[in-house]
């Protein structure tokens, strides 16, 4: 069971907006550690999507945005496209475990 | 352009030691704020962080695997090696080598991954 909790799956129609939550605790997200998001297209290596809560690496469309509040973080995707269909993982640091931790992943289906 | 590539055996027997090499280009591991990390993913499962080698030679390990892991510089300046002792079928996974950026505090470039199966 992952330290960071994500919904197993979310779905949306093309053009819609979806959000993926990442729920942690006082020893990780709530301790003000940064949250990062990765996109993994099936059969491919993960790719950094959002770093330090709400920053996009160059080349990542502004349809992707991140936010953080309290012990949770969220990834929002607007204008959903077919090639957004992938698994999404959040990542942070946990000072109780003294470890880098990942969420369990969320599978996004574009209907 | 930063690239990383993992290499090592595709099949390992239980109780053996697994040695994986990450060969990278486009950066120097002696540059301030840089690191090389290893992350694995069992088939159909989530990502799991294993180890991280920092620019200042500091090393960090997943507490749950610390006793079995060693991360070190390779024989070439652009290599990092991960060894895992006493492997078990549950260690079957795709192993990824990654570039870690201190500024971004994240794994910002990933290798393609290498699939390792532990089976007798």
Residue A84 — φ and ψ, nearest 5°? -85, -10
Give the helix/strand (H/E) hosting A106: strand A106-110
| A68's tokens | 């953080």
Round to whole Å and give the CA distance between A76 and A65: 5
pLDDT at site B118: 98
Q: pLDDT at residue A1 above 90?
A: no
B1 at interface of A, judged by CB pairs closer than 8 A = no
**Of residues B99, B114, B112, B111, the one with CA closest to residue B53:** B99
Q: Is B105 close to A51, i.e. CB distance below 8 A? A: yes
When pLDDT is averaged across residues A55-71 and rounded to a whole number, the result is 97
- How high is the mean pLDDT of chain A? 97
Which of B46, B60, B105 has its CB closest to that of A89? Answer: B46
Closest among B110, B98, B113 to B43, alpha carbons compared:
B113
pLDDT of B103: 87
d(CA A84, CA A81): 5
- Rounded mean pLDDT for each run of 10 residues along chain B, 120 residues in total: 98 98 96 96 98 96 97 95 98 98 92 98
Nearest neighbour of A45 by CB, restricted to B63, B96, B105: B96
What pLDDT score was predicted for residue B104?
87
């Amino acid at each position: 069971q992952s330290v960071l909790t994500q919904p197993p799956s979310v779905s949306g129609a093309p053009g819609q907006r979806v959000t993926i939550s990442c729920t942690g605790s006082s020893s990780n997200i709530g301790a003000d550690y940064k949250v990062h998001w990765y996109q993994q297209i099936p059969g491919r290596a993960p790719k950094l999507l959002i770093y330090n809560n709400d920053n996009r690496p160059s080349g990542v469309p502004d349809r992707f945005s991140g936010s953080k509040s309290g012990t949770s973080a969220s990834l929002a995707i607007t204008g959903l496209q077919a090639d957004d269909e992938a698994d999404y993982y959040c990542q942070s640091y946990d000072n109780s475990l003294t470890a880098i931790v990942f969420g369990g992943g969320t599978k996004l289906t574009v209907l | 352009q930063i690239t990383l590539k993992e290499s090592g055996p595709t099949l390992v027997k239980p109780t053996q030691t697994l040695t994986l090499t990450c060969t990278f280009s486009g950066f120097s591991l002696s540059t301030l704020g840089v690191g090389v990390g290893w992350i694995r993913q069992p088939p159909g499962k989530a990502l799991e962080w294993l180890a991280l080698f920092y620019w200042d030679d500091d090393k960090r390990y997943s507490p749950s695997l610390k006793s079995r892991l060693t991360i070190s510089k390779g024989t070439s300046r652009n290599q990092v090696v991960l060894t895992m002792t006493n492997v078990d079928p549950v260690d079957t996974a795709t192993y990824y080598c990654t570039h870690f950026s201190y500024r971004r505090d994240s794994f910002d470039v990933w290798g393609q991954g290498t699939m390792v199966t532990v089976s007798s």
